[in-house]
Structure 1
């Protein structure tokens, strides 16, 4: 009897085959399912984009990053709100989604898609130059230099200036904080600021005020130049002297000679040696240049250094050297200014011989011959300064708080009104003029200006490319202002009728300072300045003026 042979297949082979089928199924099926989609449980900056198509993921990211809108950048003393795009920041949604899809079909990517998740940092585009410029602009508003300790004077008495810490925006850290906040989708960023310590302590400032600063103004100081001598009084020293940081933690005297240099020049520089500005004279109805010349003068910086060094060493004498100085207006510059013809002129009249006439003539003399450069602003108070008896002004009536009072320089508003009208018809820019409180019948209604010191001032700007020469003249009953330049416009004035008329009250007062007032109604009026060029109207400017009723005041 023949025995049968039994064939037994290895069990291990069957297991391996089944495993292979399972592996293929486990990898192939999800790969097919996941193909074209962002893997599940994928986030970017906390935004869930898993399971979306690339286009859908990009749209969701763009919406999420647009939602916070503008970013508030906060620092001490300054908070600005700005759009991320204006900072040079933008989401790169395409690159972010591409990073999420990278490797999605690999075994590791499939495993991550089946069993895990992924948190991706979003990709952003940064314009580093734009971001740096924006941070620098913010720093200019935030930064504050430390205030150093020092000494200033109140009269002759030294007072310590106590130090204060400053601050500075940390620009590199601020740029990083802004980028991080954009990545995290935060709408507010607190920017880092570091403190800046002053070099001079409060103790040193107090010590200097108690000793060195007192000694500096204990006696006058003498300046010498070429055998001539000038004295700075204690009060003049103190008015322009400070003690400032020396860079080594201490204090040094610092004298500012800019305001006293012209005064010292009158004493230390012979008149024949001083520079002389080019000027203009009117010959046969046309302006001609009178040449200027260079001369000797004092450099304010040299005077400052000499006085400061003398005070630091404890001496009371300082030598200063004269230097060659060009005139402020050279002959060449004067000829290039284009002063060719009369472009504006006006005359106002007044009764003869009252004290106010003296003031009108004096201010006219001080202004006569002044040249206003192209683009410069003329200030009547800035040129003339305070009206005082030392320069020939006298007491005369003026309007103050609704009453007539006597004051030194009263009446110069007539000159301001005359100049205002010359400027009006010359076509130059009115910067600031202030009409009188009450209407004064000798002036054109709505076309006049008061002036006092320091305010109100009369200011106008030479908005032409040419220089403007101011010429003044007067008689016992009138004052005239002429402006010479190159004509640009023909100017016409038109006025409305007076409206909103208000009657005046009748008042009585007593006392030695009472000045009677005649009484006049108040009203409003509009004036138009009409500019014409080649016969065509190119511009109109409206002036609206309201006058209060002038009371009839009887002095008993």
Structure 2
């Protein structure tokens, strides 16, 4: 007898389809309950993350386990490369990290979802890719810092010369890291964690303009021939040879806009080389005017002029460069020289109006070694000066600063109304002589100044002194013709003569009386370089320059001078 199965309320009234569905629901429910019991947690069995098994663990257990393993994996440096340079990125400094919570979220089952639970009965979890979190600001900052060491500029191909030999520089492509793109490019390498791989970061390339082919062409076409042998040049009759070593010191090859290398020669530097300068030093670089002298009332040529010969840097370079690609005897050439003509020659002296003596004046002085040196040096610098019509002549510009380097020595001169030792002492004798030659030649004074107190050997009111940087002696040649200055000296005198064409028949001087006489005082000095000084009164005086032409007076010009008293200076020992 079969056991009796109690009837379930409502079963008999259900149609067959409903009964079938009910059976199915009971079966699914059973599987769901079975899945919940068998999983034993929230993560499917067999689930791994980078080889770490977290299957069957709860979220908390999986999180703790992954934090231990992923922390170590996330601290390994990533090897990177930009172009040919290598470096490393510390993930922690660059803001790359594994998101453990996010990874566990990805690995967990769908919780109470029946389909996910039931599906877990028939499969294992498999390997789950960890979630990567990137702090982009930190990553960008770290990569920008790294770019400073890995970026490379493009290196142009080049050709250089050293000690007569040719050197080549190979071109190189430049690389500049694309920081923004590199932030994303490092996600994959960080995720994979391959310690032995190198990641090439995205970079912008910059190609050199001068290619390897261009370097080879430049060497073949110019550099090798240039260093193959010396070149020999002739300039102004002087012959000299330049070795490859000397040439190479001043040769370069520079790229044009198209990246083609072209030779450049430092002609100025080459001109200064002893091989060149020594050979050309005897060439008369500056012209020399014909020397004139007074013969009675006429100006005559005492010595012929000399043409100057100039070898310019440009001419030297123009001669050298074409020879560098030649061979044998063809490496010989001529340097063009420039002829510099003198202003005054035997042929043009008369045409310039240098035909007669306009004036001449002599100043005598007591002999002293410093006067002989300083007066003689100033005379040498002044003698032969040519002043064209309308030009202004300057004592300071012609003579230069009175220094030891310029040939002058210390001597006695007036400074602050007192005699003192200073460079160029005695030159005022030359200035006074030039002033009087100018005075009697009738040309126009532009700048002049008398001594502060009167010196007995000079004409009252008709004398001049000079001081570098503060007082000059200048005159303008308003005679209408050229003017030539002849200067000469002895141990006790200096004479200056103006040659040209007289503007007036005669120029004379009329001196007025002394006025406003002022008495000197007495001073005692214990200074180590004290110079004794005799007393002399100070006074005012006016001298008139009188012009005569055609036998009659045609004008007067006053020259007014105020002299301060020359105090007596007594030198005493300070001990």
TM-score by length of 1: 0.48
Instruction: Specify the structure having the higher radius of gyration (Cα).
Output: 2
TM-score by length of 2: 0.46
